[in-house]
């Protein structure tokens, strides 16, 4: 039975949570496959916003099964908070035995490294994400299953000299590491998580055997933040593309039926790094205000730019996308006009940057000059529209421009933050 993967097609915060919460109505299982509490996915149901950082955006539905896969790095305090939300809603949660635990030392290291980088700081969320994934690469990660007993906690902290090495790095960064016994005491507080643990890969395989069972896989971050395809070094430390799902669950096409990329009708980025279509003018300030563009995890203002078509084309190729869902189109209503980035020139030569140029190279991104056009906006609000044909001609022309430039179908359009504020074009091909 099919798996549908939802990923961010820009620099994160595209509205993945809202789309997954909407689609979750039509599936049996929702799973989260990557990242950690660096993510913040906001769902709005009956006017009430809920921001989820670790559990999948299907937890607000009673009885729905929500799975956290083995490649997710878990802050247990966040897990406990979100499990409470799930319990209230009556949904079910299964956490992978092997999902990693973000120890407090990882956060200290993340912070120390950012301070050390000074003006070259990545602008991480300081949630310990990079250092935690490093422990996985070094094959000495601390897993959720290690929270089971004091003996298991102590064994995991000693594995491959984990505690001693981490404490050394914290000290090197000028901070005092949490004491070994303090960490043991901290970890013991989460022994109750064991009732949620299991082998999620086996569970997913079993579910795929069941006739009619649909699985929705929710990515975190966005393709431009992917550890391999994103613009290094200002990216995150896991795969936010479809590959992140395949890598952790061992499921590939054709069982993996469709990957849809979520893209905002403009772009935002939080943290450092090059953003070619970034603007700092009246329009960008208006969009920041209208779109409430402040990070849901750190509260930092998100940088705002024009919709970047070459970047989206690149993301579709490198992210293995079959289609796009464009969110926040409602926020472009009633503008004088809308800026769109349609190409890049090399700053030094004035020559056009070919579409296959590797935009994951920071050098390329830093040496290009964006070319903008202005397209028509539309006067009437569209947040009540639920049918594609009811959208004003200029809004449809905006969607056509995206499809024609990127070469992928736009299957859905977001017209508001609420769960139902989405327009599917014809019947969406996902389920």
Residue 244, interface with ligand GDP (CB under 6 A)? no
Q: Which two tokens stand for residue 200?
A: 């999620």
Nearest to 399 by CA among 383, 411, 381: 411
Conformation bin of residue 161: beta by default, left when phi > 0, alpha when psi is -120 to 50:
left
Which one of 21, 22, 41, 258 is the catalytic residue?
A: 41
Nearer to Mg ion, 267 or 395 (CB): 267
Residue 319, interface with ligand IMO (CB under 6 A)? no
Q: Please count the helices (runs of H) and the strands (runs of E) in the chain.
A: 13, 19
Nearer to ligand GDP, 109 or 225 (CB): 225
Residue 44, interface with ligand GDP (CB under 6 A)? yes
CA distances from 68 to 55, 133, 245, 353 (A): 7, 16, 11, 40
CA distances from 344 to 229, 371, 401 (A): 19, 6, 17
Residue 39, interface with ligand IMO (CB under 6 A)? yes
Site stretch for ligand IMO (CB under 6 A), options 172-180, 218-226, 251-259, 335-343: 218-226
Phi, psi (deg, nearest 5) at residue 100? -85, 150
Nearer to ligand IMO, 186 or 294 (CB): 294
Residue 15, interface with ligand GDP (CB under 6 A)? yes
What x/- string results for residues 152 through 191 when contact with ligand GDP is judged by CB under 6 A?
Answer: ----------------------------------------
Question: Minimal distance in Å, beta carbon 405 to ligand GDP?
Answer: 20
What x/- string results for residues 396 through 415 when contact with ligand GDP is judged by CB under 6 A?
Answer: ------------------xx
Applying CB under 5 A, among 8, 15, 40, 177 the residue interacting with Mg ion is 40
Q: Is the Cβ–Cβ distance between 394 and 366 less than 8 Å?
A: no
Question: Minimal distance in Å, beta carbon 355 to ligand GDP?
Answer: 25
Site stretch for Mg ion (CB under 5 A), options 36-44, 202-210, 235-243, 378-386: 36-44
Q: Is 428 a catalytic residue?
A: no
Q: Is the Cβ–Cβ distance between 27 and 59 less than 8 Å?
A: no
Site stretch for ligand IMO (CB under 6 A), options 122-130, 147-155, 254-262, 422-430: 122-130
CA distances from 297 to 13, 42, 51, 126, 252 (A): 11, 10, 9, 10, 31
Nearest to 35 by CA among 312, 255, 337, 240: 240
Question: Minimal distance in Å, beta carbon 328 to ligand GDP?
Answer: 4
Nearer to ligand GDP, 83 or 385 (CB): 385
Site stretch for ligand IMO (CB under 6 A), options 232-240, 244-252, 284-292, 421-429: 232-240
Taken as a whole, the chain contains a residue count of: 431
Applying CB under 6 A, among 328, 332, 402, 430 the residue interacting with ligand GDP is 328
Applying CB under 6 A, among 259, 296, 322, 360 the residue interacting with ligand GDP is 296
The rounded distance, in Å, linking the Cα atoms of 106 and 205 is 32
Q: Which two tokens stand for residue 97?
A: 């035995």
Applying CB under 6 A, among 3, 11, 13, 34 the residue interacting with ligand GDP is 13
Render 207-233 in DSSP notation, one character per residue.
HHHSTT--EEEE--S-GGG-TTTS-BT
Conformation bin of residue 353: beta by default, left when phi > 0, alpha when psi is -120 to 50:
beta
Q: Kindly provide the b/e burial profile for residues 392-404, where b requires at least 16 CB atoms within 10 angstroms of the residue's own CB.
A: bebbeebbebbee
Phi, psi (deg, nearest 5) at residue 181? -70, -30
Question: Minimal distance in Å, beta carbon 107 to Mg ion?
Answer: 19
Residue 129, interface with ligand IMO (CB under 6 A)? yes
Q: Is the Cβ–Cβ distance between 196 and 94 less than 8 Å?
A: yes
Applying CB under 6 A, among 57, 66, 91, 124 the residue interacting with ligand IMO is 124
Q: Where are the beta strands (DSSP E) in 33-87?
A: 41-45, 48-52, 65-68, 73-74
Query: Nearest residue to ligand GDP, using CB?
Result: 414
Q: Which two tokens stand for residue 77?
A: 């305090």
CB atoms within 10 A of CB 75: 23
Residue 217, interface with ligand IMO (CB under 6 A)? no
Question: Minimal distance in Å, beta carbon 297 to Mg ion?
Answer: 7
Residue 123, interface with ligand IMO (CB under 6 A)? yes
Which one of 13, 110, 226, 308 is the catalytic residue?
A: 13
- Positive/negative CA dihedral, 270, 273, 278, 283: positive
Q: Is 389 a catalytic residue?
A: no
Which residues have a catalytic role annotated?
13, 41
Interface residues toward ligand IMO, by CB under 6 A: 8, 11-13, 35, 38-41, 122-125, 127, 129-130, 220-222, 225, 234, 236-237, 270-271
Question: Which residues contribute to the site for Mg ion (CB under 5 A)?
Answer: 13, 40
Write out the residues near ligand GDP by the rule CB under 6 A.
8, 12-18, 39-42, 44, 296, 327-328, 330-331, 414-417, 421
């Amino acid at each position: 039975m099919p798996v549908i993967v939802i990923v961010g097609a820009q620099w994160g915060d595209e509205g993945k949570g809202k789309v997954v919460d909407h689609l979750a109505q039509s599936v049996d299982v929702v799973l989260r496959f990557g990242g950690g509490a660096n993510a913040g996915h906001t769902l709005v149901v009956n006017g009430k916003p809920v921001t989820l950082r670790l559990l999948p955006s299907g937890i607000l539905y009673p009885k729905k099964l929500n799975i956290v896969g083995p490649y997710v790095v878990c802050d247990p305090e966040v897990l406990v908070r979100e499990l409470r939300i799930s319990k209230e809603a009556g949904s079910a949660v299964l956490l992978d035995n092997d999902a990693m635990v973000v120890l407090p030392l990882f956060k200290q290291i993340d912070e120390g490294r950012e301070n050390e980088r000074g003006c070259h700081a990545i602008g991480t969320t300081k949630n310990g994400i990079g250092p935690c994934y490093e422990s996985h690469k070094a094959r000495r990660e601390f897993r959720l299953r290690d929270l089971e007993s004091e003996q298991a906690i102590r064994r995991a902290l000693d594995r491959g000299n984990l505690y001693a090495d981490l404490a050394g790095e914290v000290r090197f960064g000028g901070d005092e590491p949490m004491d070994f016994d303090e960490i043991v005491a901290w970890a013991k507080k989460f022994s109750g998580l064991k009732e949620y643990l299991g082998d999620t890969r086996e569970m997913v395989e079993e579910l795929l055997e069941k006739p009619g069972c649909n699985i929705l896989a929710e990515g975190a971050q966005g393709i431009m933040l992917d550890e391999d395809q994103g613009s290094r070094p200002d990216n995150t430390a896991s795969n936010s593309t479809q590959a992140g799902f395949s890598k952790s669950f061992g499921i590939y096409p054709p069982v993996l039926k469709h990957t849809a990329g979520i893209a905002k009708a403009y772009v935002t980025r939080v943290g450092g790094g090059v953003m070619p279509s970034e603007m700092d003018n009246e329009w960008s300030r208006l969009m920041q205000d209208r779109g409430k563009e402040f990070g849901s995890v750190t509260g930092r203002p998100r940088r705002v730019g024009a919709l970047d078509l070459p970047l989206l084309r690149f993301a579709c190729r490198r992210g293995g996308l079959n289609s796009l869902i464009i969110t926040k189109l409602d926020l472009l209503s009633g503008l004088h006009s809308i800026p769109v980035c349609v190409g890049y020139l090399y700053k030094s030569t004035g020559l056009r940057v070919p579409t296959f140029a590797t935009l994951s190279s920071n050098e390329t991104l830093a040496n290009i000059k964006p070319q903008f056009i202005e397209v028509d906006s539309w006067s009437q609000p569209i947040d009540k529209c639920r049918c594609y044909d009811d959208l004003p001609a200029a809004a449809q022309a905006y969607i056509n421009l995206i499809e024609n430039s990127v070469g992928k179908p736009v299957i859905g359009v977001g017209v508001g933050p609420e769960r139902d504020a989405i327009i599917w074009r014809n019947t969406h091909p996902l389920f």
